[in-house]
Amino acid sequence: MTSATDHPSVLQRPLSPDTVVVLGLGPVGSVAALALAQRGIPVLALEAAHEQYADPLESRASTFHPPTLEMLDELGVTEELLDTGLRAPRYQYRDRRAGVVADFDLAVLAEETRYPFRLQSEQSNLVRIIRERLLQIPHVQVVVGADVVGVRPLPDGIGLSVRTGEDVHLVDAPWVLAADGANSVARRDLDIGFDGTTYEERFLVASTTTELADLLPDLAYVNYVSDPQEWLVLLRTPRHWRVLFPIPDGTDLDQARDPADVARRLQDVAAHPPGYDVTHTTLYNVHQRVAATFRAGHLLLAGDAAHINNPLGGMGMNSGIHDAIAAVRALHDTIGGAADSLDEYATTRRHVAMTYIQQATHRNWQLMQERDPAVRQQHHDKLRRTAADPVAAREYLRDAAMLTSFRATLPTGSPGPR
């Protein structure tokens, strides 16, 4: 089988008029490249530093929601991905002092999806699985170490300046799907606005191999822990527990990143006299931003290039993968001459980002750190009532599991997941 990994010299060859150039091979770009290839569309995938997505120790996305697993199943990926992760049918809202507030079970969605659970698996597993498949597809060309440093509109395409080593190649791309992240060169060079806000506090993600389930009774694999002083998130992955803390503005950042300081803070979560084994820490700024448009001529934005949000609810990577699938459908229709669906993609997916993802994630953050005792009590009481009512729980989980936002972009008449 012809290898799909090419020497940078491939950038010097003219591209066929139906080729789609994918910028970035993170989870969003990887899914887009595979989906395009499976539809018979030639793909040139450019990745500056692929290893950044493939490191399992990196504290990146690790939750796959039911509709995302449905989409990946259509690509033939889900079965292998399931073997890399933990199925999490339950997740909890907890209070830092009082314990479990509400326990939600995704099993109530069993009639609506083949995957009534979250899959906890590092995004590096998905990237690796897809990368191996791309290497076996002759009409896919992957160039790693290809840094896109310039993007410009052309009358019938998009011009790319691509650096490999000391060389800069000029590539005339008929079509581009830009999944090049929050600092997207495509979005910057095409002067697409990226309005929104940046939180004053930073988020600290730490990994520990200490088994938290032995220390906190009835702990689920996914836990949102509210507290007026220091809320947190506890997520189980196959390798470790991942803990997310807010870091107030003005904090000594070097100290916050120090594993010894994190281990000390974890003692306040659950006492563990032998001490915590903290294997990794990452500190990052948190934004809520959406691009002014998801389309510029023959280029579509997807994933973090199009919208970024806080990680509460695990919607970032998942919504980006949903973007990728919707963008591929639009490109396939447009290239094939069936219809120009690119504007529909841009409008619909931007609406989903604004109406579902941005609002839901920001609301999650507000509720987690609420300080007013009366408001906190009202929220906890509502969660308890919702979790106890199967009908209300099902409706709530449709939103939380992203089935509602997923269905908002299905073609008319599509039955949706099953």
What CATH number corresponds to the domain at position 347? 3.50.50.60
Strands (E), 145-189: 147-154, 157-164, 167-173, 175-178
Count of domains in the chain? 1
**The pLDDT of residue 413 is above 70:** no
Rounded mean pLDDT, 42-71: 80
**The pLDDT of residue 133 is above 70:** yes
pLDDT category, 59, cuts 50, 70, 90?
low
Which of 388, 391, 375, 369 minimizes the C-alpha distance to 100? 388
pLDDT of 58 reads 55
pLDDT of 51 reads 59
In a domain, 112, yes or no: no
Distance CA(44)–CA(336), nearest Å, equals 18
pLDDT of 4 reads 60
Give the torsion sign (CA, 324, 303, 344, 412). Answer: positive
Rounded mean pLDDT, 189-207: 94
pLDDT of 122 reads 93
Distance CA(179)–CA(26), nearest Å, equals 8
pLDDT of 387 reads 95
In a domain, 187, yes or no: yes
pTM over 0.75: yes
pLDDT of 415 reads 44
pLDDT of 264 reads 95
Rounded mean pLDDT, 330-342: 92
pLDDT of 49 reads 82
The whole domain housing 190 covers 8-87+120-194+288-370
Rounded mean pLDDT, 275-285: 94
Task: Compare 60 and 91 and report the one with higher pLDDT.
Answer: 91
Strand, coil or helix: 154? strand
In a domain, 128, yes or no: yes
Percent of the chain with pLDDT over 70: 94
- Phi first, then psi: give them for residue 321, nearest 5 degrees: -65, -35
In a domain, 70, yes or no: yes
In a domain, 307, yes or no: yes
Mean pLDDT of the chain: 91
**The pLDDT of residue 353 is above 70:** yes
Rounded mean pLDDT, 99-122: 95
pLDDT of 55 reads 55
pLDDT of 412 reads 46
In a domain, 47, yes or no: yes
pLDDT of 360 reads 78
**The pLDDT of residue 77 is above 90:** yes
Percent of the chain with pLDDT over 90: 75
Task: Compare 417 and 335 and report the one with higher pLDDT.
Answer: 335
**The pLDDT of residue 354 is above 60:** yes
Strands (E), 191-277: 194-198, 202-208, 222-226, 232-236, 241-247
Q: 288 to each of 170, 187, 300, 379, how far by Cα in Å?
A: 33, 16, 20, 23
In a domain, 54, yes or no: yes
Query: Do residues 301 and 194 make contact, with C-beta atoms less than 8 angstroms apart?
Result: no
Strand, coil or helix: 280? strand
In a domain, 416, yes or no: no
- Phi first, then psi: give them for residue 111, nearest 5 degrees: -85, -5
Rounded mean pLDDT, 143-147: 94
